[in-house]
Each structure stands twice: as C-alpha cells, then as structure tokens.
Amino acid sequence: MDATAGASDARDLPADGKVHASSNGPLPDPEFASRSLFDALLDAARAFGKATAIAADMETPAISYKRLILGAMVLGGRIARMSVRGEHVGVMLPSTVGAAVTFFALQAFGRVPAMLNFTSGVSSVRTCMHAAEVRTILTSRRFVEKGGLQALVEALEGDARIVYIDELRQSLSVFDKVAGALRAAFARLTHRRYRAAPDDTAVVLFTSGTEGAPKGVVLTHRNILANCNQFITYVELGPPDRLFNALPVFHSFGMTGGMIAPLLAGIPVFLYPSPLHYRQIPPLVRKFAATILVGTDTFAMGWGRVAEPEDFASLRVGFLGAEKIRENTRDFYEEHFDFPLIEGYGATEAAPVISANTLRHRKDGTVGRVMPGIDFRLDPVIGLAEGGRLAVRGPNIMAGYLSADAPGELQPPPDGWHDTGDIVTVDTEGFITISGRAKRFAKIGGEMVSLAACEGHASVLWPDNSHAVVAIEHPRKGEELVLVTDYQDAQREDLVRHFLAHGLAEIMIPKRIVKVEALPVLGTGKLDYRGVEELAEARVSGS
C-alpha cells in the first residue's frame, strides 16, 4: 500500500453540477479505439505473436491467437449464412473459450452479439430480446442440459430460432472448413468486406432490471476499445500477467475486463463458466498460475473461505466490482493471502469501468479515481447535505438504450452524459466514495437515509454474514426500514445497541429483521434488491 492509501485529509468536491475532467494519468490513445474489435484482435495477434497461447478453459488447455482467429472465421462464415450484416444475434453461452470464439465470429462478419442473461428468467430474457429485436439465439445444447436451462430454451423457441453451436460445429462440411481456413489466412482482407466503423454498434448488453424492466445497452467499437485502453493503461496490466475470469460474459466487466481487454493486451485468460463453484475455482487459479483475479465481494469471499494459501500464491492483485468490498472480506484476504483486493466501479453504460483503485494509487473504502478521459459532474440532490448524483461523459459512454417500449429505437444519453443514479462524494484527490443508489435512499421522518450505510453498519456488527436493508411502505409512517439477513441469531436489541453506540441516528435503525437462509443474488454477483424487497414485504405482511 502506498502513500495514497488509507485515510486522507482531502476535502470533498461540492455537488454544484460543474464539469470536472479526469487528470488521473495519460489520456487514452484515440488510435487504439479507432478500429473494429476484430481488427483489434488481429493487431494483438501480430503484436504478441499468432502462436501465443491466449485463452483456456476447463476443456481447452490453451488456444492461440491463430486458433482463435481460425475458429472465428470458420464458425462466423457458417453463422453469416443464417443472418444479415448488422443483425443483433443473441448469445446465451457461459464463460468459455467457445464463447470467445463465438463473440469474435460474429464480429468478423459484421454481426452484433446481444449477450443474454440466462439467469434472469424467461420474462426478463424475452423483454431483452424484444428490445434488441433478436431473432436468433446461439447457445450450446450441452450447456443447456448441464445448466438445467431446457425450460428457458423451450419457452423462447416461439420467439427466436435456437441454434446450437456444438451441433453447428459437427455439421460443418469440408468446404466450410477449407473456406474458413482460407479466410483466416487472409483475415484482414476477409474482414474488410464486413468491417464496422468505430462508432457502429459492437455489442448489446442488458441492464439487470433490478429497478425496472431491463434495457438494452448499445456499445460501439469505440466505447469498448476506449475502455479497454483506459483500464489496461491506468491499472498497468500486460504480459507476463495471466487473468482468471469466472464472471459471466453477459456481465459488462466479465465481457470487457475479463475477456476482451486481456485478449487485446496479450494477457492469457482462463474462462470459467460459474463463479458459484467455490471449491473448484481456487485449485484452477493455482493450476493456471493466474496473477490477476476478477470478481465481486460475494464471490471472492466464497472462493477465499475454501482456498489454500498455495492456491492463490501466484496472484498479485484481485480486482473486484459490482458491490462494495466489505471490511471483513478485505481483512480475511490480508490474513490468509499475500495479495490485495482492489475495488473499482463501473456501469454497463460505461463499457463498464468508470473508476478504479490501483496498486500505486489506492484508498481502501473508495472505488478509486475516475479513468483518464472521462469527465464527471456531481449534481445536487434535494435533502442530502453531502455528496451528489454522479454523471459521466467520455469515449466509453454508450451510444444509447434500447427498450421494449420502442424496439430497435436508439435512445442516446442527453448531450453524451450518463446519469449513473449513484450518490457519491469525490475528494480533492479524485477518490470516489459511493453512498448508494439514488433509489436506495429512504425518507424517514423527513430525513434522507442511505440504505447502503445501514447495511454497512449491520456488516460491522455481524461481519460473517450477508445483509440487505430495504424500505417498504408503512400505512402510517410512509416508509419503514427492514433488515433482511442470513444471520439466524440476529436480534434487533443488538442492532439498536450497536447503532446508538456508534452515534448513529435512531431513524437509521431498521424497525424489523427478516431472517432468511440466503439472500437472492443475480447472476452478476449483485444482490437482487427487487427479490429482497419481495421477501421483506411478504414476511412483514404475513406477520
């Protein structure tokens, strides 16, 4: 930890709506982002060597750039016969080498991957498909069977054509393979016919839908490549690093930070299909000799509890996002393993990284400083004395949203600004501290209360468990705070004692405690707050 880590006397910037330009390191190289994603892959192969082993998974010990490009050309040529240029093609695959090949197969022939979240349920997937006008879904029969997704796929068959990649590969003719090999040998010439402009759509991701219906997030080639350049340069990644990624590729950081960025930076990546396989992952990290681990606080704690010190001996850093790193998680890793957990922050709309701590510039408890090339402003929020609502603008900010209300109709961010919906403070050194989502504040007794802050104090009291605080309607008081926890011995008396002992206002103390076996979690690793609210409302109304 360097001199910037830990406590600081830096003051907070005022929430006055003024524009601030990030000066945290060199600006991203505009040439890096002025290409198509497939051109960037070809450039990486030339820079780091076509024979360099660049990706692996459970069944593929290593695949070189050459084999990745060949696979993309063979498969892409076959997919091109059943789609049209610019079409949004649904991709429903786990984090594997096959997903990387499929992603770049679509890129090579000018098709747009629409990355579907297969953990979100039939209704949510249908909404996403409708918004992005998806007519074909690429998946794997083996994956569907192993993942128990038959019901989901059957429900979607009336909405789109389901194409099984594993069966498609088996049906490839000799002509398909020879034609693909020739295309791969002259990949730049082949791609020229389908090459997208930097500001054309590269991929459609989808919001989690925790605060409403999911929306399509349209990211351009420039958006993704700019963010790769920002992240790689700012956190100083590159050979001889090796990255282990168990985040799903429908997750924005799982896709950009965990798959695309390492491939373009010459960093071998191990792709694993489920972050929930806590016991299987640590030995694989050791076998792959990974130096970088990406994940979330929840997943990292799950892996850490079962890992032996030698499993993580090769790691030099863990980059975590999507949720706050809890103090007990950080303490656990410092006690058991010899590498730090670094917290970052992003949004799907930002492709996704907005800010990050680094090994050089780190302040625990914050999400680091804004990436170079991103402007930000803090808009005042009525009722809040500290902090403001964060808005960001830069080359990585999305082209716009797609919604089910207006399928295929792009809704760009106003004047290029994305309102994150997060309430933050930013100190004069540039470090961001998140207070919570704007929608995760409750008005209790006329005062604005941060539900995230309430959760944080519950975690201090009971650090070995998971907690969520939600506000539900009260017939007389307007809103009432409820703590939902998996700690079965939680008592409100202890909660009251702890909050008051730390000088916290009584309005911050949850009025009820709901105990559950496990809190609902989204496939991205984030808490499913909509699910938590439903649990709390059901328990309270039934009491």
Instruction: Supply the CATH number for residue 321's domain.
Output: 3.40.50.12780
Instruction: Confirm whether 208 is domain-assigned.
Output: no
Q: Is the four-CA dihedral 77, 134, 229, 27 of positive or negative sign?
A: positive
pLDDT tens digits, one per residue of 416-451: 999 998 889 999 999 999 987 766 667 565 556 777
Instruction: Confirm whether 407 is domain-assigned.
Output: no
pLDDT tens digits, one per residue of 476-515: 556 788 899 998 988 888 888 888 887 776 777 888 888 9
135 and 259 fall within a common domain: no
29 and 96 fall within a common domain: no
CATH of the domain at 108: 3.40.50.980
pLDDT tens digits, one per residue of 300-356: 999 999 999 999 999 999 999 888 898 889 999 999 999 999 999 999 999 999 999
Last residue of a domain, one of 162, 197, 232: 197
189 and 91 fall within a common domain: yes
For the chain, first and last CA: distance in Å? 49
54 and 154 fall within a common domain: yes
Instruction: Confirm whether 204 is domain-assigned.
Output: no
Single out the residue of 449, 452, 416 nearest to residue 436, CA to CA: 452
Q: Check: CB of residue 514 under 8 Å from CB of residue 535.
A: yes
> What's the length of the chain?
543
330 and 471 fall within a common domain: no
CA–CA separation, 534 and 299 (whole Å): 24
Q: What is the mean pLDDT of residues 71-81?
A: 95
122 and 228 fall within a common domain: no
Single out the residue of 122, 89, 92 nearest to residue 105, CA to CA: 89
Last residue of a domain, one of 197, 230, 254: 197
Rg (CA), the chain: 23
CA–CA separation, 529 and 123 (whole Å): 17
The residue ranking higher by pLDDT, 25 or 204, is 204
- The per-residue pLDDT for 2 is 45
Q: At what angle do helices 297-306 and 281-288 cross, to 10 degrees?
A: 90
Instruction: Confirm whether 291 is domain-assigned.
Output: yes
Domain count, the chain: 3
424 and 287 fall within a common domain: yes
CA–CA separation, 276 and 298 (whole Å): 10
234 and 383 fall within a common domain: yes
467 and 386 fall within a common domain: no
CATH of the domain at 511: 3.30.300.30
- The per-residue pLDDT for 3 is 41
pLDDT at 378 over 90: yes
Q: Is the four-CA dihedral 128, 134, 136, 140 of positive or negative sign?
A: negative
**What band does 543 get if pLDDT is binned at 50, 70 and 90?**
low
Last residue of a domain, one of 197, 213, 231: 197
* Residue ranges making up the domain that contains 146: 37-197
29 and 42 fall within a common domain: no
Single out the residue of 98, 133, 153 nearest to residue 204, CA to CA: 133
Percent of the chain at pLDDT above 90?
A: 65
pLDDT at 7 over 70: no
The mean pLDDT value of the chain amounts to 89
Instruction: Confirm whether 203 is domain-assigned.
Output: no
67 and 162 fall within a common domain: yes
Q: Quick one: three-class SS letters along 161-189?
A: EEEEHHHHHHCCCHHHHHHHHHHHHCHHH
Instruction: Confirm whether 131 is domain-assigned.
Output: yes
Instruction: Confirm whether 333 is domain-assigned.
Output: yes
98 and 227 fall within a common domain: no
Instruction: Confirm whether 390 is domain-assigned.
Output: yes
